[in-house]
Structure 1
Amino acid sequence: MAFTCCHQALCGPGSIGSTLATRRGTVETFGQAARRLRGGMSLREAARRAHLDSGHLSRVEADKRPPTPLIAQALDGVYEAGGELFSLVEAHGEPWELDHGIWRPKDSELLAAAVLTTTPKAENALTLAHQWLIAEPPQVTATRAGRRIGVAQVQEVEKRVHQLRKLDDYVGGQDTHAMVTTELAATTALLRDAAYTEEIGKRLLAAIGELAQVAGWVTSDAGHHAEAERYYLVGMRAAHAGGDVAGAANNLSSLAYQVANVGDAREAVTLAKSAYAGARSAATATTKALLAERVAWAEAQIGDATAAERALGTVEEQYEHRQPADDPIWVYWLDEGEIDIMAGRVWTQLQRPLRAVPILERATAGYSDETGRETALYMTWLAESLLQANEVERAAEAATRALRLSGKAGSSRVSERLRLLRAKLAKFPGVPEVDAFEGEANASA
């Protein structure tokens, strides 16, 4: 996963006649790609299905009018193109630049399009991260066309976001992915179509930033990493536009966590450090502890024990200075047990079982089977640290508990961890606990 392009996730229409794609070695414009995908369908019928003016669609196909993200999205739906046209607009369009720093209706349309597309090419995290660090938050346009909403409606949105976040404590991403992403699309549509004051608009953007982070988290947990990356980038932009610096940092830091797990860990270190640095002056102590945890994890993934230990020290220092009354609602889950779990995982990743095992044993003792996914996931780390300490029987017992909980976890992360554990335990045939684990794994396959 490389982050090299600018504004690919959140961009506007390209210049007229610009080349937009390469197909089998032949350069295509957007119009040529649209005509190819239309195939035998008449232009009039395509326009009718996409709710477009046929004359305008004709000019777009002739590269005489620039495609917008919403037009590309509509045509993708008609042609069942899987987001191909939208990806052409966003990958080669002009950057999404605010008009004198003001959030306009077109920006809400672009945000909505970025949320709804199915095949994004979100490879601009580093660029966005550094822009976010130096940019002044844009203001939200004061009025919108359509139904007017007030404090009561935005409070309901905020309440629903937190309910979905709490649900993620008990249900895996495979089960909640569709629910959360549908909620995100609906909330983004509200931002685009409703009328509201500037203050209400900023609160809506901040709520979308939080909801996008939840969407990214559950989508990543379901194993859809490219889609999750897009949600994190959208969430960072929306939170920043709403003046929520900590929320923007949480999205960027969450993306760093995913990249550390499935991408280039060195890029993850940069992302995680950018998130911590960007929010340092605005975030609460608890929030900074959370952001520092993700720095520690990224450092562990590249094998830098000194940097990881330093980051873990920052976690403890910040958490000691927490003021819960000042914290954003989304850090409710970070407590001493979770901090211990991360420390144990870091030391396991660094293959330091003498440090990892006592921490993980103490921490996992406080987790019940009701939190199936979290308990299963954490038990896999305890099992791995026990294996590193040559405690094979105890490792197999921990892995068996994780396996039994995995059936209701609904998490690709848990499944992947168990797959890795199974391969490690297979090196110890004949150990009764290992054979029992293998038998249960075969039965549940």
Structure 2
Amino acid sequence: MREPGAAASADADSVEALHAAIGRFARLDAQLGSGAVAPSVLQSFRAAQQVLRTGRYVRAVRRDLQAVTAEMGELAGWMLFDGLRLTQARRINAEALLLARAAGDTAMTWFVLSNEALVCTGSGHYGEALRISRHFAEDPRVPRRVRALFRLRQARVLGHAGNEPGALRAFERAGAMFSDGLSSRDPAWSWWFDERELVGHAGSLRVSLGRHAEALPLLGAAVEAARDDGYRWALYIHRAALLDAALAAGDIAEAERVAVAIVPMLERMYSARTEHRLRHALARGAGRRCPSTLSDALEHIRRRLS
């Protein structure tokens, strides 16, 4: 019998409630961006960790509770990355990874490590990002869609490091693995690694390699795909990348179209990583003679981000 005032023990219903919360947070992230949701996700992760640390759970749900807490940590780590809080993202990823391993959840360890490769790339730890990406991309025990994701991570870090031939080779291999389609071995979370995600990375890779004209049709396709599936965060970041590429390529008409489309999103979306890309685009447009519509849109974006 529980003493008066004692905290309730987490049980199967608690695990289901955490799963439901993850779904809600992910939907909010897709529609509003991570900045609007990350504090709540991090708070939920810390609360679940505290339950595990203090043993306030029914013994039969220990592994399920560890696994769902690891999943909450994966989501928190992703949102911190999108918020450019890279040091904190690495710390949360490490904690989520320990929980996933304790739960025996191999699929979640892959997910967390794929995010960690992103964080390492973003923070300039290219060697570590390559080590993670190559290890899992080349492990035949890993399902092919997951291996394709790690090969994609490899391509992106090589692109940032300036290794153009290696980056394009790795991306070609990622595309070949992706084209095999999903299998029964692929984890449930791999649904989001779809054609839009692949083509968006194809465009962004070419931007990082300075091949801006080649990036335009790829990023344009990613924008259209995001419009079709209603994924507003993806639409926001693909549009930011397209604006950056269009200004770099000198395609003023395309830059004008996409800048005008970005303006109404600025008050509804909260993504530090996307805003960073927009600032990069603004720097490209600085001092350039542009039509008044484009100039006005760029000035509006600049004011909103200042």
Bucket of the pairwise TM-score, normalised by the shorter protein: 0.7 to 0.9
**Alpha-carbon distance in 2 for matches of 1:227, 1:310:** 32
Deviation readout 1:200-222 (Å, 9 max, x if unpaired): 32222222222111101112222
Q: Which residue of 2 aligns with 1:366?
A: 225
Q: Secondary structure at the match of 2:156?
A: helix
What RMSD over aligned residues (CA atoms) do the two structures have, in Å? 2.5
Which shows bigger deviation, 174-183 or 236-245? Answer: 236-245
CA distance change for structure 1 residues 207 and 243 in 2, over 3 Å: closer, same or farther?
same
**Alpha-carbon distance in 2 for matches of 1:210, 1:289:** 21
Q: Which residue of 2 aligns with 1:306?
A: 165
Q: Which residue of 2 aligns with 1:233?
A: 94
Contact 1:259/1:268 (8 A) holds in 2? yes
* Higher RCO (C-alpha under 8 Å, 6+ residues apart): 2
Q: Which runs of structure 2 are paired with 1:109-120 in the superposition (5 Å)?
A: none
**Alpha-carbon distance in 1 for matches of 2:136, 2:260:** 37
**Alpha-carbon distance in 2 for matches of 1:442, 1:227:** 28
For normalisation by structure 1, the TM-score amounts to 0.61
**Alpha-carbon distance in 1 for matches of 2:122, 2:297:** 26
Q: How many residues align?
A: 297
Deviation readout 1:45-86 (Å, 9 max, x if unpaired): xxxxxxxxxxxxxxxxxxxxxxxxxxxxxxxxxxxxxxxxxx
Q: Which residue of 1 aligns with 2:131?
A: 270
Q: Which residue of 1 aligns with 2:4?
A: none
Residue 245 (structure 2) pairs with residue 385 (structure 1): yes
**Alpha-carbon distance in 2 for matches of 1:438, 1:149:** 51
**Alpha-carbon distance in 2 for matches of 1:434, 1:425:** 10
Q: Which residue of 2 aligns with 1:332?
A: 191
**Alpha-carbon distance in 1 for matches of 2:137, 2:67:** 19
Q: Give the superposition deviation at 1:420.
A: 1.1
Structure 1 unmatched runs, 5+: 1-145
**Alpha-carbon distance in 2 for matches of 1:285, 1:160:** 29
What amino acid is aligned across from residue 148 of structure 2 in structure 1? A
Q: Give the superposition deviation at 1:442.
A: 4.9
Residue 202 (structure 2) pairs with residue 343 (structure 1): yes
Q: Which residue of 2 aligns with 1:33?
A: none
Residue 260 (structure 2) pairs with residue 422 (structure 1): no
Q: Secondary structure at the match of 2:225?
A: coil
CA distance change for structure 1 residues 327 and 153 in 2, over 3 Å: closer, same or farther?
farther
**Alpha-carbon distance in 2 for matches of 1:399, 1:275:** 38
Contact 1:177/1:219 (8 A) holds in 2? yes
CA distance change for structure 1 residues 189 and 282 in 2, over 3 Å: closer, same or farther?
farther
Q: Which runs of structure 2 are paired with 1:245-260 in the superposition (5 Å)?
A: 245-260=106-121
What amino acid is aligned across from residue 309 of structure 1 in structure 2? L
**Alpha-carbon distance in 1 for matches of 2:222, 2:67:** 33
Structure 2 unmatched runs, 5+: 1-6
- Identity, % of aligned pairs? 22
Q: Give the superposition deviation at 1:239.
A: 1.0
1:194 equivalent among 40, 52, 56: 56
**Alpha-carbon distance in 2 for matches of 1:307, 1:149:** 49
What amino acid is aligned across from residue 83 of structure 2 in structure 1? A
2:235 equivalent among 375, 388, 393: 375
**Alpha-carbon distance in 2 for matches of 1:427, 1:271:** 41
Deviation readout 1:242-280 (Å, 9 max, x if unpaired): 112231122122122122123233432223334545xx3
Q: Secondary structure at the match of 1:366?
A: helix
Q: Secondary structure at the match of 2:31?
A: coil
Higher helix share: 2
Q: Which residue of 2 aligns with 1:219?
A: 80
Q: Which has the larger radius of gyration?
A: 1
Contact 1:250/1:275 (8 A) holds in 2? no
Deviation readout 1:121-155 (Å, 9 max, x if unpaired): xxxxxxxxxxxxxxxxxxxxxxxxx8655544423
For normalisation by structure 2, the TM-score amounts to 0.86
